A = this chain, B = another copy of it.
Amino acid sequence: MLLSPEDLGAIWLTLKLASLVTLLLIVLCTPLAWWLARTQSWLKGPINAIVAMPLVLPPTVLGFYLLLLLGPQGSVGAFLGQIGFSALPFSFAGLVVASMLYSLPFVVQPIQNAFIAIGTKPLEAAATLRSSPWDRFLYVALPLAKPGYISAAILGFAHTVGEFGVVLMIGGNIPYETRVISIQIYDHVEALEYGQAHTLSLLMMAFAFIVLAFLYGNQKRQKHHVVAGGVL
């Protein structure tokens, strides 16, 4: 099973992309999920819906709209250009942004639900123990929301690895820069190089399986430290 340097490059790029996207998403989604979990504002419904919106479009089409938006003619692209950013399309940074947008709901939702499940009691207890909002968020809410974070990380990571349409559009399939492994496999399939496609797919699934099985295995039934002899 020999991998070409291009395959290796794609694997490396994929890992880098998926890790970075997952990490950034978790950081960025945390305040959003927190707000969504606690707010009584009427904005909650609409914002939740907006978060899920990118899902509804076919990825390549979403990619096309992103191209329009981020291109020199697009409102966002023009603005970024003005403040001195280099263009996002066809760059690794662009891949990161696009993947984040597309995997957003899979990270927000589990975290949000985990925050909801905590309720107010532990936070109230912390507040009476001189724990500031920030402190109680870090030391009470976050640890209690751990299962949600694991779910979010898994879904976000896996979805970014497999994501393809958006990445293809925004990335421009540049070897060693934006050609991730999913594009590489896709190319093999389209070029009828089925043997290479199988090899890469298998490799990817095996790797993912090991990572995920490990992550899940570590996800304990945190809520209830096993009751001696408990039956339910």
Contact = CB atoms under 8 A, between A and B. Distances in A.
A91 to B, nearest CB: 21
A26 to B, nearest CB: 15
A11 B151 CA distance: 32
Interface in A172-215: 182-183, 185-186, 189, 197, 201, 204-205, 208-209, 211-214
Given A61-B185, A106-B106, A224-B120, A161 B56 contact: yes
A8 B186 CA distance: 31
B49 A213 contact: yes
Interface stretch (A69-77, A78-86, A92-100, A111-119): A111-119
22 contacts: A46-B209, A46-B213, A48-B212, A48-B216, A54-B162, A55-B158, A55-B159, A56-B158, A56-B162, A58-B186, A60-B164, A60-B186, A61-B185, A61-B201, A64-B197, A105-B155, A110-B113, A113-B147, A114-B117, A117-B147, A120-B227, A120-B232
Contact of A182 (B58, B120, B164): B58
Contact of A58 (B57, B162, B213, B232): B162
A28 interface: no
A22 interface: no
Contacts of A204: 56-57
Contact of A155 (B61, B106, B222): B106
B58 A214 contact: no
A230 B232 CA distance: 34
Protomer copies = 2
A46 B205 CA distance: 12
Interface residues of A, number: 74
B208 A56 contact: yes
Nearest to A112: B151
A32 B120 CA distance: 30
A20 interface: no
A28 B185 CA distance: 31
The 9 closest A-B pairs by CB, nearest first: A45-B217, A49-B212, A58-B164, A58-B182, A55-B158, A117-B117, A48-B216, A49-B213, A56-B208
